[in-house]
Amino acid sequence: MKVGLVGTGLVGGSLGLALRARGAVVVGQDRDPRAAERARELGIVDSIGAVEGADLVVLAVPVRSIPGCARSLGPVAGVVTDVGSTKAAVVRGGEAVFGGRFVGGHPMAGSERSGPDAADARLFEGRRVLLTPTARTEPDALARVAEMWRGVGATIVEMDAERHDRVLAAVSHLPHAVAYALAGALGALGADSFRGLAGGGLTDTTRIAATPAPMWIDVFLENKGALLEALDAFSAELGALRAAVERDDSAAIAAFIEGARAARARILG
Amino acid sequence: MKVGLVGTGLVGGSLGLALRARGAVVVGQDRDPRAAERARELGIVDSIGAVEGADLVVLAVPVRSIPGCARSLGPVAGVVTDVGSTKAAVVRGGEAVFGGRFVGGHPMAGSERSGPDAADARLFEGRRVLLTPTARTEPDALARVAEMWRGVGATIVEMDAERHDRVLAAVSHLPHAVAYALAGALGALGADSFRGLAGGGLTDTTRIAATPAPMWIDVFLENKGALLEALDAFSAELGALRAAVERDDSAAIAAFIEGARAARARILG
């Protein structure tokens, strides 16, 4: 199989390494020529060049770049997919260019690290990949994308693109916004005076706040409606906990904490 | 050295295991007779019984129980310390009973697990213990407590009790409140429909929200003033990020994220 990779960062790079380790030929490109060259040095791609002749083209660029990236490609012979963290607008943009040969995809794997040097051939092992086919999607296109992901160790879950975006707003985009706001609040409260005094709680709670901005600007804006709803639900919960603390209401704090623990166990259990 | 342990949960239990491994004799008690018996079975204590004759008595109970626990002890021969996550009120209560032989302490080590079965003899290795002596503290009492913690692998940092509480409100109590609110929000948004769809971001961000309620009810209420200030600083940050998303302001989102990343790096770096 010949795979064309547009974007050689953490996710694209990891996919390139994983596919080449399993015998695929990978041709790649990156708008940043240094990243492309670094991807070649690291063995993420066999060569740098045009991806249009590949059996499968993977668009691994920030979500808001996907429609433009799709339009800028020449005619492609094979199937096209992406790895974006939001899906409704991406699928509309992809289908506008490639019709039923475009399949929206979202590997649930990442890291606070970024760029080709963060690529990891095992990133997708045991992880879920969410695919969002529509009524237009050609069955063999969907099968080819699913086969690629299973080949690198992932499990496929199919869902509607709109549902994907609502679910991800809650389980991923909201936690990222909260983690950034928490790190920002520590900055406002006097970061330098806290140096060396943080425990594992702060380290874990803000780990994802180490992720660079470009990916998350796009995700937040692309999924704005669902994110704002999730943020408002979060602020209502935090407000309820704050009010219980303010009025010294031990029973309400206990009920809040036990409800939160139960919700977490249901989601992660 | 003979150590008396009041409370045999995660922190008290871990200290008992670590001290006994280094040759100390540990006598313990717990208001829950099953926890006390379990602590004896696990080797956390040599025996269950009165702690008043020990060289060093460690109060390892939820912070709001510390003053009452101190008053309920008979006359003690040695030094008394605690492991509570807030210090100003605890130190006032401890000094009211034990005068300059009470030393406030706070090991920066914990886990979302709890109870004697969660005890870990290595819990304090490489961790910081914050001690909050006052003008009344007897130098040899401070030295004895510091020596105990160094003996189990920890590093001592001394600070004023009021400063301790302000710092901990930011680096620990705020992240716990935020993590509980985040888990609560996921519950409100529909926990069951998210089952199996969470990634590492949500898992890490809410890890500390698995901690049972009793410890945190006490911490939140005991450090209410500083916690409410920290919560308000956090809400202001989250509101700024929300407003930037709502008005599609990529530049403001980028600036927010980069500020948050820089603050995190300053605190943890």
CATH of the domain at B217: 1.10.3660.10
Q: Please give the single-letter amino acid code of residue B263.
A: A
Sign of the alpha-carbon dihedral angle for B41, B44, B46, B52: negative
Whether A19 contacts A3, CB under 8 Å: yes
Domain with A94, as residue range(s), is: 2-159
Q: Are residues A134 and A211 in the same domain?
A: no
Residue B192 confidence (pLDDT): 87
| pLDDT computed for residue B191 by the predictor | 85
* Cβ contact A187–B260 (<8 Å): yes
For the cut 90, the answer to whether the pLDDT of residue A89 exceeds it is yes
Task: Round to whole Å and give the CA distance between B124 and B208.
Answer: 18
Same domain, A126 and A57: yes
Q: What are B201's two structure tokens?
A: 């971001």
**Rounded mean pLDDT of A188-217?**
92
List of chain B residues whose C-beta atoms are within 8 Å of the C-beta of residue A227:
245
Q: CB under 8 Å to B164, separation ≥6 — which residues?
A: B86, B87, B88, B104, B106, B130, B132
Task: Say whether residue B243 is in contact with chain A using an 8 A CB cutoff.
Answer: no
Q: Are the beta carbons of B15 and B59 closer than 8 angstroms?
A: no
Indicate whether B109 and B234 sit together in one domain. Answer: no
- Window 76-135 of A, Cβ < 8 Å to B: 108-110, 128, 130
Provide DSSP, A68-103.
HHHHHS---SSEEEE--S--HHHHHHHHHHHGGGEE
Q: From the list A171, A234, A269, which residue is nearest B181 (CB)?
A: A234
pTM to 2 decimal places: 0.90
Lowest mean pLDDT among A62-66, A135-139, A149-153, A241-245: A62-66
Query: For A45-85, how does the pLDDT look when each residue is reduced to its tens digit (9 = 90+)?
Result: 999 999 999 999 999 999 999 999 999 998 998 999 999 99
Among candidate residues A111, A127, A159, the one where a domain is terminated: A159
CA distance B233 to A184: 9
pLDDT for the residue B125? 97
* pLDDT (0 to 100) of residue A210: 94
> Could you give the CA distance from residue A10 to residue A150 in angstroms, rounded to a whole number?
19
* Interchain CB distance below 8 Å, B242 and A228: yes
> To probe the interface with B, which of A114, A131, A202 has the most B CB atoms within 10 Å?
A202
Tokens coding A132: 């969002």
The amino acid at residue A99 is G
**163-182 in chain B: CB under 8 A from chain A:** 167-168, 170-172, 174-182
Q: Do A202 and B246 touch (CB under 8 A)?
A: no
3-state secondary structure of B102: strand
The B residues from 177 to 216 touching A (CB cutoff 8 Å) are: 177-214, 216
- Cα separation, A241 vs A229, in Å, equals 19
Residues B203, B224, single domain; the answer is: yes
Q: Which of A182, A198, A266 sits opposite B195 (nearest CB)?
A: A266
Contact residues, B window 40-59, toward A, CB-based 8 Å cutoff: none
The partner residues of B56 in beta bridges, in order of sequence, read B3, B79
Q: Does the structure show a pLDDT above 90 at A111?
A: no
End-to-end Cα spacing for chain A: 37
- Predicted confidence pLDDT, tens digits, chain B (269 residues): 999 999 999 999 999 999 999 999 999 999 999 999 999 999 999 999 999 999 999 999 999 999 999 999 989 989 999 999 999 999 999 999 999 999 999 999 988 888 999 999 999 999 999 999 999 999 999 999 999 999 999 999 999 999 999 999 999 999 999 999 999 999 999 988 899 898 889 999 999 999 999 889 999 999 999 999 999 999 999 999 999 999 999 999 999 999 999 999 999 98
Q: Identify all chain A residues contacting B132, using CB atoms and an 8 Å cutoff.
A: none
Does residue A57 share a domain with residue A38?
yes
How far is A241 from chain B, CA to nearest CA, in Å? 7
Could you tell me if B231 and B134 lie in one domain? Answer: no
Q: Are residues B85 and B183 in the same domain?
A: no
CATH at A146: 3.40.50.720
Cα A260 to Cα A256, B184, B213, B248, distances in angstroms: 6, 4, 10, 31
Alpha carbon distances (Å) from A177 to A78, A174, A208, A209, B198: 37, 5, 9, 8, 15
Question: Across all residues in chain A, what is the average pLDDT?
Answer: 96
Residues A140 and A262 both lie in one domain: no
How far, CA to CA in Å, does A67 sit from each of A13, A32, A84, A212, B90? 20, 18, 11, 22, 59
> What is the predicted pLDDT for the residue at A191?
85
Q: Give the pLDDT of residue B220.
A: 97
| Domain-terminating residue out of A159, A175, A202 | A159
- The tokens describing A118, both together, are 């963060």
pLDDT of residue B196: 86
Domain count, chain A: 2
- DSSP at A8: -
Q: Do residues A155 and A167 share a domain?
A: no
Do A65 and A128 lie in a common domain? yes
Q: Do B114 and B222 belong to one domain?
A: no
Residue A140 and residue A57 share a domain: yes
- Give yes or no for residue A241 having a pLDDT over 90: yes
Tokens of B170: 């930011």
Q: d(Cα B260, Cα A221) in Å, to the nearest integer?
A: 18
Q: Residue B206 in 3-state DSSP?
A: coil
| The pLDDT value given to residue B246 | 98
Among A133, A159, A185, residue at a domain's last position: A159
